[in-house]
Chains A and B, each alone.
Chain A
């Protein structure tokens, strides 16, 4: 629905972005010549074999590392400025909760760091806890939660400052299939409710197809974007979609893009 606003600022705009790590045993080219635009409110997944630079790209957008070459802007600003302005929220593969803080205190962390008043903080935390269905657990500590619940806390924390961009690096990677599908549906709902753009790293083709407006396919040595596959499922991401032929057709399309050639009878197993 953002397509009509031609003048809208893009959430992420990368052109010719490269990253070289200088290691002891020489240089590692983690990314070369990445061109990628993520529109406001758009859900984009990054998929590709291990070592193709998915995490690296995400960390560049988050300004956790600096790009070696190219131009990278987040909402029209340099990534560094966007980080200081709290324009994005981030969730990692590990939930990364602070074990000595309660669920509420973990969710409130970004707000606390930006000196949001106590009352406002409390209201926002209550709201977010409801959003991720953890309203009854705000006073627990992370060690009293399951992995899936911890991951939901991490997502609530990422959403705390109401960012217009959500960066997620395999946030469901360590979870069982049931929890995973549940959280995927939750994320779809949350992304729709908040209108945030999402850049989502995953190893799972079905997950990428289910969640995304576009799936960015990457390939290693050197890390680069090889294909971008459009998903036509806006507004119909429910359980029925997981069983529909159109969905399997897209799964096959992404698989073929990943393997660089048509995969025969991919969904006839």
Chain B
């Protein structure tokens, strides 16, 4: 009985605590900016930001769609490439040996560093450079996690499939892939946030004049702080959606994973 009430209280606390922190933060912010009028430059009132959000919701949503699409495409391309290459690396030692340094190189080179080059390469009217940056960023964590996951099959399961005279393809489909699935979703969760950040930051370095990142840079430069912050809120929303969806996928996949 007490365990039940304790459990319910824990669940309630888990929601209430962050909400309380958020509300407190907003209050403090409001107090500093609107009541004390002690705000630094470029920090507008939360009310002003909310007004901009409502007023410009149409155009903000359009720019959010651009950035989110770039991030999603990048995540998809990165995931497919990571899956295929991890599969090859698992199947063949030489391929594994060849891929390892390439992946290490992609992992250590800050992707943002090559963004201006990619943007110039694919021209000012193409989203391709941004998608490529998101894909590169998403590739690494998915590849690393999937490759590890593909190697987690338990000996007793391998013996079982051998004893059942399973073919190589059957073993992959029935055992190797399901075993790797939770690792794939963990990779996706990490890569999802990276893809959003990369797609957004890539917009700071040229390309078409749309997207959340482009807008933030433009309005920050021209001093329209409230609007810039409204766009930041849009960026946060994209990141949140990506995180929530991928975290949910991970939860579903790990529900029945081997301990």
Task: Point out residues on A near B: beta carbons under 8 Å.
Answer: 59, 62-64, 83-86, 88-90, 92, 94, 96, 98-100, 109-110, 112-114, 141, 143
Contact = CB atoms under 8 A, between A and B. Distances in A.
B156 A96 contact: yes
B174 interface: yes
A64 B154 contact: no
A92 B256 contact: no
A64 B165 CA distance: 10
Contact of A113 (B154, B159, B170): B170
A84 B163 CA distance: 8
B157 interface: yes
A135 B258 CA distance: 24
A89 B159 CA distance: 12
Contact of A100 (B164, B166, B170, B178): B178
B157 A100 contact: no
A109 B160 CA distance: 10
Given A62-B163, A64-B159, A109-B164, A99 B174 contact: no
A90 B160 contact: yes
5 contacts: A62-B163, A64-B163, A99-B257, A109-B174, A113-B170
Given A99-B258, A100-B181, 8 more contacts: A83-B163, A89-B163, A90-B163, A92-B160, A94-B156, A98-B157, A98-B175, A99-B257
Given A92-B159, A94-B156, A100 B165 contact: no
B162 interface: yes
Contacts of A98: 157, 174-175, 178
Contacts of A84: 165
A244 B72 CA distance: 73
A96 B157 CA distance: 6
Contacts of B166: 113
Interface in B217-259: 256-258
Contacts of A90: 159-160, 163
A69 B161 CA distance: 25
B173 to A, nearest CB: 10
Contacts of B257: 99-100
A143 B254 CA distance: 13
A96 B158 CA distance: 10
A112 B166 CA distance: 10
A79 to B, nearest CB: 11
Interface string B167-178: 000100011001
Given A94-B156, A99-B257, A141-B256, A83 B175 contact: no
Nearest to B258: A99
Interface in B124-172: 154, 156-157, 159-166, 170
B157 to A, nearest CB: 6
A64 B174 contact: no
A92 B162 contact: no
B227 to A, nearest CB: 49
Contacts of A59: 159
Contacts of B163: 62, 64, 83, 88-90
A89 B256 CA distance: 25
Contact of A64 (B157, B162, B170): B162
Nearest to B253: A100
Contacts of A86: 164-165
A109 B178 CA distance: 14
Given A64-B159, A143-B256, A113 B164 contact: yes
B258 A96 contact: no
Contacts of A110: 164
**Which 7 pairs show the lowest CB-CB distances between chains A and B?**
A96-B156, A100-B256, A90-B163, A110-B164, A84-B165, A99-B256, A113-B164
Contacts of B175: 98
Contacts of A114: 164-165
Nearest to B257: A99
